[in-house]
């Protein structure tokens, strides 16, 4: 049958493309690690510029003090810590004031009427931040000890104007949490490759760090997209280019965040991420396949278009999976399904093996869960598919610029004490 042949060719072609991409990304990730090891071996003079750590918060009573403590525990000698309370209606401000009284002079609290996350960050950057570097930390996340000093060290390279942290999911026994833990392991391991190949364009909100001068030149965060962090990164690239200036990934700067507790909240989160990226790409559509000399073609001719192509593949994924299952059942042949399972599981194992920021016992625990990782990824694929469907449903609003503004994303968090 013709349709069966078309599906076979499509699946074979996509599989080859994906395997090639995986191979290239694995090699580039290892090259990144090798370069970082070589840099660490060279003795360098002290480099401790002032960094302003900004923690925007709205109704974060469950975890904001945990976040502030993790920053203060870093004990970086030239640090300013600013918490912006954006008109919280819970006990966030009361908790911050009480903690401030017990720890005078260690951090500042700015209280303002609710204006949104982007506006809160812009106000802190423009009016209060004194550091030449700005780190933005979500109020439900945790910085690991020494992370600030490690992040600062990357900015010795004057070409780096923004850097993403290595974000991990706080260890959990919940199925949805374990799925997200594997997901973050994969995506952040791949950031090594994106940084190495100069294709990075997303510096997320957890531990994202910028040169203040670069932020001021672009006017800070925009308030007209749902994902202010992705929008800002692309805005920086659009202004400064990425031939000389670089968007970097600091793999040794480790931060932790809680997993989203339920499917409904996870779908809401992923819709926001996905739709926000569509907004950003639409705003900056001229960068796709741009011939401008200030852009690295690997970003504008491959990575940005691939972001859209990946969404198309996600859209037709149910058809592809359905065809594979049909062939498996029709011919009682498990080889295709087994091959995919082995490839995906082996890929995750190699990523886990090469992740230097994970402790040995953590690797052992995750390795024991690897046989289930393939099936856990399908849970997240379903979530992504639903989020994509919702994005397509709301696509008419994109051109009207009323699809969503930079506001607060709230998903349920436990705020429990954490032992990492």
Is residue 9, in this structure, part of any structural domain at all? yes
Is residue 209, in this structure, part of any structural domain at all? yes
Residue 2 or 186, more confident: 186
pLDDT digits (tens, 9 = 90+) for 131-150: 999 999 999 999 999 999 99
Looking at the 3D structure of the chain, how many domains does it have?
A: 1
Q: Is the pLDDT of residue 218 over 60?
A: yes
Is residue 87, in this structure, part of any structural domain at all? no
Is residue 56, in this structure, part of any structural domain at all? no
Q: Which of 265, 207, 264 is nearest to 409 (CA)?
A: 265
Confidence of residue 8 (pLDDT cuts 50, 70, 90): low
Is residue 294, in this structure, part of any structural domain at all? no
Q: Which of 138, 4, 158 is nearest to 83 (CA)?
A: 138
Is residue 49, in this structure, part of any structural domain at all? no
Is residue 218, in this structure, part of any structural domain at all? yes
Is residue 275, in this structure, part of any structural domain at all? yes
User: What confidence score (pLDDT) does residue 75 get?
Assistant: 86
Confidence of residue 40 (pLDDT cuts 50, 70, 90): confident
- Residue partners of 239: CB distance under 8 A and separation at least 6: 217, 218
- Residue 37 lies in domain: 1-42+140-287+315-420
What are the beta bridge partners of residue 141?
257
CB atoms within 10 A of CB 126: 13
């Amino acid at each position: 049958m013709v349709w069966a042949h078309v599906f076979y060719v499509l699946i074979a072609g996509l599989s080859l493309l994906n395997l090639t991409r995986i191979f290239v990304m694995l090699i580039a990730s290892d090259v990144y690690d090798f370069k970082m090891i070589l840099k660490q071996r060279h003795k360098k003079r002290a480099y401790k510029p002032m960094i302003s750590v900004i923690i925007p918060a709205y109704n974060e009573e469950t975890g904001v003090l945990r976040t502030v403590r993790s920053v203060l525990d870093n004990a970086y000698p030239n640090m300013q810590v600013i918490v912006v309370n954006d008109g919280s209606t819970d006990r966030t401000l009361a908790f911050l004031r009480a903690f401030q009284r017990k720890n005078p002079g260690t951090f500042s609290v700015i209280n303002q009427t609710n204006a949104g996350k982007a506006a809160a960050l812009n106000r802190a950057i423009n009016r209060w931040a004194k550091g030449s570097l700005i780190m933005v930390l979500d109020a439900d996340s945790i910085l690991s000890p020494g992370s600030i000093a490690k992040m600062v060290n990357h900015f010795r390279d004057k070409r780096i104007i923004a850097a993403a942290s290595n974000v991990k999911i706080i260890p959990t026994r919940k199925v949805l949490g374990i799925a997200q833990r594997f997901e973050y392991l994969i995506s952040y391991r791949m950031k090594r490759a994106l940084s190495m190949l100069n294709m990075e364009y997303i510096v997320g909100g957890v531990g994202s760090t910028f040169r203040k001068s670069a932020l001021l030149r672009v006017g800070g965060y925009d308030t007209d997209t749902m994902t202010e962090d992705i929008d800002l990164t692309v805005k920086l690239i659009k202004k400064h280019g990425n031939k000389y200036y670089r968007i970097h990934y600091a793999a040794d700067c480790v931060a932790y965040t809680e997993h989203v507790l339920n499917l409904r909240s996870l779908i809401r989160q992923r819709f926001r991420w996905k739709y926000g990226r569509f907004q950003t790409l639409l705003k900056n559509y001229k960068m796709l396949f741009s011939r401008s000399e200030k852009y690295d073609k690997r970003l504008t001719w491959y990575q940005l278009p691939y972001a859209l192509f990946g969404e198309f593949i996600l859209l037709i994924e149910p058809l592809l999976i359905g065809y594979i299952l049909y062939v498996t059942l029709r011919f009682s042949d498990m080889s295709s399904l087994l091959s995919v399972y082995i490839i995906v599981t082996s890929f995750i194992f190699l990523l886990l093996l090469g992740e230097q920021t994970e402790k040995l016992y953590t690797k052992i625990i995750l390795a024991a869960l690897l046989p289930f990782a393939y099936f856990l990824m399908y849970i997240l694929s379903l979530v992504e598919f639903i989020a994509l469907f919702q994005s397509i449903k709301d696509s008419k609003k994109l051109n009207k610029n009323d699809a969503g503004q930079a506001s607060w994303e709230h998903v349920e968090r436990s705020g429990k004490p954490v032992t990492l």
